[in-house]
Structure 1
Amino acid sequence: MSNIITVSREFGSGGRELGKRLADELGVAYFDKEILEAIAEQTNTSEWYAQEVLERGMLPGYTLHFGHSFSYYSPVAQQAVNLMVAERKVIKELAEKQDCVIVGRGANKILEKEEPFNIFIYADMESKMARCRERAPEDEHLTDRELTKKIRQVDAARAKTQEMISDFKWGDKRWYHLCVNTSGLPIPETAPLVAEYAKHWFERKERYR
């Protein structure tokens, strides 16, 4: 069985960078945007549309729980289900092939039977705003109020999409093996510490299997 790490994160917490650096530290594969590309290809949709549905909860009028059966779907809702099915398939196929780090996409729930090491990355609003401004496009000029609203909207969408595929409450510490507060912490210095923790977790898991 592969050693799999899933990284869930608040917007602006540095979770994506930490996930990539963690994969580099451990010498394992890293999957993020590649999953979205594969989903779009399999469902014959654009990456933009797949992202809107799977990451940003574009279907506010529907409550969809993966694995439940429904007697009727509108074409739009059915397409959302098709995207979730493809997402599940792609993530499982990637995880079966190699040790890896997967960022987002509800992988902690999708791969529950594979017993992954689940991480949640969070930070205070000030730190998240600072990271967002560092990485913002040159033509983006949001006020503090606008940026705070954007961060909260993205996090709310991530929570909603998690609920679409599971009963896991996004961000609830009970569903993660490690929660990391990156407020004021440089990601390059944090990743090696998380890597060591993950190594010990997998060693202990193997010892008591």
Structure 2
Amino acid sequence: MGMKIITIGRQFGSNGRNIGKLVADKLGVSYYDKEILKLAAKNSGVCEELLQNLDEKPNKSFLYSVVMDPYAFAYSYNNSGYSMNLNQQAFQATFETIRDLADKESCVIVGRCSDYILRERNDVLNVFIYAPLEERIKIVSERFPELSENKVKDQINKEDKARASYYNYYSSKKWGKMESYDLCIDSSIMSLENSADLIINAFKNGKKSTNN
């Protein structure tokens, strides 16, 4: 079975988003990153601002959700009592949107446990983009020149920790672990163009067992 979907996990500052966009452009397919939140809000009725606030963030307790959002009770009460907190509802909305997108079209999807959500499919190439911390500090510093190097390092650690907590909570795998992906790329050792071409080559020529 040929590949149809590319999912991209990425360390903060590794250029994973830029590489994913380049891959989509080269293949002439749709690219989904923040766009998923807009679609998820439209399809689920969950407020887009809420989805943005909880996007790839660690799961919080129900009490925390109530304090942060006075409408939490309305979202989370059913005939059986309180069920999902807002983080779980946000994930469910994202989950269903990603599944729908994969059913409808070939595309590149960045983050949000997309590799795990689509784990039962044999037409998905799961990629993880990483880079040494020193290289990521350079990239993020160029993006946010007003921040000191220490602030940049803190932001990188904060973002990576949040993504790992989110991924590890909602999946049965470990964020960034080689075994969780089909292809892992150190983006510091080649250009964005070459990184994208490497992914495209694997996408066009790769295949998975139908026994998975």
Alpha-carbon spacing, 1:207–1:92, altered in 2? closer, same or farther (3 Å): closer
Task: Return the match for 2:120 from 110, 113, 116.
Answer: 113
Q: Which residue of 1 aligns with 2:171?
A: 166
Maintained 8 Å contact 1:43/1:83: no
- In 1, distance between residues paired with 2:209 and 2:48? 40
Within 1, Cα distance between the matches of 2:138 and 2:97?
Answer: 33
Aligned length: 193
1:83 offset after TM fit, Å? Answer: 1.1
Instruction: State how far apart, in whole Å, the 2-side matches of 1:175 and 1:133 are.
Output: 29
Unpaired runs of 5+ residues, structure 1, are 63-70
Q: What are the within-5 Å matches in structure 2 for residues 159-198 of structure 1?
A: 159-198=164-203
- Deviations along 1:118-166, one digit per CA (max 9) or x if unpaired, are 0000001111111112222xxx622111110110110000011112211
TM-score by length of 2: 0.81
Mean alpha-carbon deviation: is it higher for 184-193 or for 151-160?
184-193
Residues 162 and 169 in structure 1, CA contact (< 8 A), matched pair in contact too: yes
How far is 1:58 from its partner? 6.2
Identity within the alignment, %: 36
Q: What displacement does 1:73 show?
A: 4.5
Tell whether 2:37 aligns with 1:30.
no
Partner of 1:135: 143
Report the CA distance shift for 1:61/1:206 in structure 2 as closer, same or farther (over 3 A): closer
- Kindly state the Cα deviation for residue 184 of structure 1 after the two structures are TM-superposed: 4.7
Q: 1:144 to 1:91 in 2, by over 3 A?
A: same
Pick closer, same or farther for the CA change 1:80–1:58 going to 2, 3 Å.
Answer: closer
**Match for residue 108 of structure 2 among 101, 111, 119:** 101
- How far apart, in 2, do the equivalents of 1:169 and 1:72 lie? 32
Q: What is the Cα-based RMSD across aligned positions, in Å?
A: 2.6
Q: 1:38 touches 1:90 (CA, 8 Å); kept in 2?
A: yes
Residues 43, 82 of structure 1: 8 Å contact kept: no
CA distance in 2 between partners of 1:80 and 1:207 (Å): 33
Q: Structure 1 residues 89, 207: CA separation in 2 closer, same or farther (over 3 Å shift)?
A: closer
Q: Report the TM-score, using the length of structure 1 for normalisation.
A: 0.82
2:48 counterpart residue number: 46
Question: Distance between the aligned counterparts of 1:31 and 1:98, measured in 2?
Answer: 12
Q: 1:147 aligns with which of 152, 156, 173?
A: 152
5+ long unaligned stretches in structure 2: 64-79
- Aligned partners of 1:154, 1:17: CA distance in 2, in Å? 17
